[in-house]
Amino acid sequence: DTGVSQDPRHKITKRGQNVTFRCDPISEHNRLYWYRQTLGQGPEFLTYFQNEAQLEKSRLLSDRFSAERPKGSFSTLEIQRTEQGDSAMYLCASSLGPEGYRPYFGPGTRLTVT
């Protein structure tokens, strides 16, 4: 399967714990995006990378959130001191960009904070 993959698919954690998610984009895609989606809402932008450079971060990305893409391939999203409001689906997408704007999404990581 050469699509976008994410790991883990599901994560249940207790409030206050740290969690880290991984995204592996389609191999030739240089843009990688992180989105968050809650029930009944469209995906909300968190951050994106062009190769290893983080180009933009949403104001939704509080200082408890950090994302990296150290070698311009896979990316990680870490949430420190999780809160119940962090419970959501975390979606990763990749694209050839900016010329190739056809982003493809991974299956997502569903986070539940208890």
Partner 1 sequence: RKEVEQDPGPFNVPEGATVAFNCTYSNSASQSFFWYRQDCRKEPKLLMSVYSSGNEDGRFTAQLNRASQYISLLIRDSKLSDSATYLCVVTSGNTPLVFGKGTRLSVIA
Among 22-30, 48-56, 59-67, 79-87, the segment contacting partner 1 (CB under 8 A) = 48-56
Q: Does 108 bind partner 1 (CB under 8 A)?
A: yes
Contact with partner 1 (CB under 8 A) among 77, 91, 111, 113: 91
Q: Does 90 bind partner 1 (CB under 8 A)?
A: no
Nearest-approach distance from CB 41 to partner 1, in angstroms: 6
Between vectors from CA 94 to CA 93 and to CA 96, what angle results, nearest 5°? 155
Match 């949430």 to its residue by tokens. Answer: 79
Q: Does 103 bind partner 1 (CB under 8 A)?
A: yes
Contact with partner 1 (CB under 8 A) among 18, 104, 112, 114: 104
Nearest-approach distance from CB 49 to partner 1, in angstroms: 10
Are the beta carbons of 76 and 59 closer than 8 angstroms?
no
Nearest-approach distance from CB 81 to partner 1, in angstroms: 26
Residues 12-27, buried b or exposed e (16+ Cβ, 10 A)?
Answer: ebeeeeebebebbbbe
Determine phi and psi for 10, rounding to 5 degrees: -135, 145
